[in-house]
Amino acid sequence: MKSLRFALPLVLLLLSTVAFAQTDAQKSFDKLKSLAGVWQGPVTTDQPQSDMVPNEPVWVSLRVTSRGNAIVHEFKKPGTPDDPTKDDPITMFYVDGDRLTLVHYCDAGNRPRMVAKSSPDGKTIEFDFLDVAGGTQYGHMHHVVFNLIDANHHTEDWTFMMPGDKPMRGHADLRRAN
């Protein structure tokens, strides 16, 4: 009976630790939900041979879906028609147990999965590579950082690992369009 009395506080402590981890993931997810809407701004890359022209404008749509349990993120070049042959990558965000996860449905034909960590002030959410489904012969998305500046301004930094593990970085400086 004495061992049960000592075990109960330990179990409660462990359960509270799990609850705090879930709370951190949920807090970061809620921060991303606050970005719901349409954003526009320039994208720059560190690779001159990329598809993006320096300072080329893009539209980013973030939409909360699935009764608040998922976020859809879509990049789109202005004036691009809805056409599956065009490059409109989709990223899905969701809380999976005690972590915030994203799956990037890439035009390279694969689906990398990343897990978030949040800065102490909650204004930076950084996603680190976990694994990838599908082939990586054309490269894969590897790292993402969201910097929440204010309600109408955020940046996104995306790192794509090209074949041979050469990183290509893209930076989007986005302002709320609606």
Q: What is the pLDDT at residue 121?
A: 87
- Residue 98: band (very low, low, confident or very high) from pLDDT cuts 50, 70, 90: very high
Higher-pLDDT residue of 32 and 120 is: 32
The stretch 103-117 carries a mean pLDDT of 95
Q: Tokens 């978030």 map to which residue?
A: 116
Domains of the chain: 2-176 (2.40.128.20)
The stretch 41-59 carries a mean pLDDT of 76
Specify the pTM.
Answer: 0.82
C-alpha to C-alpha distance for 74 and 23, rounded to whole angstroms: 26
The stretch 11-35 carries a mean pLDDT of 70
Q: Is the pLDDT of residue 106 over 80?
A: yes
Percent above pLDDT 90 for the chain: 65
**What DSSP string runs through 96-137?**
ETTEEEEEEE-TTS-EEEEEEEE-TTSSEEEEEEEEEES--T
The answer to whether 73 and 93 are in contact (CB under 8 A) is yes
Higher-pLDDT residue of 133 and 178 is: 133
Percent above pLDDT 70 for the chain: 81
Q: Is the pLDDT of residue 131 over 80?
A: yes
Q: Which of 91, 86, 94, 82 is nearest to 25 (CA)?
A: 94
- Residue 100: band (very low, low, confident or very high) from pLDDT cuts 50, 70, 90: very high
Q: Is the pLDDT of residue 55 over 70?
A: no
Q: What is the pLDDT at residue 80?
A: 74
Q: What is the pLDDT at residue 65?
A: 98
Q: Is the pLDDT of residue 91 over 60?
A: yes
C-alpha to C-alpha distance for 107 and 104, rounded to whole angstroms: 9
Tell me: the pLDDT tens digits for 119-128?
Answer: 888 899 999 9
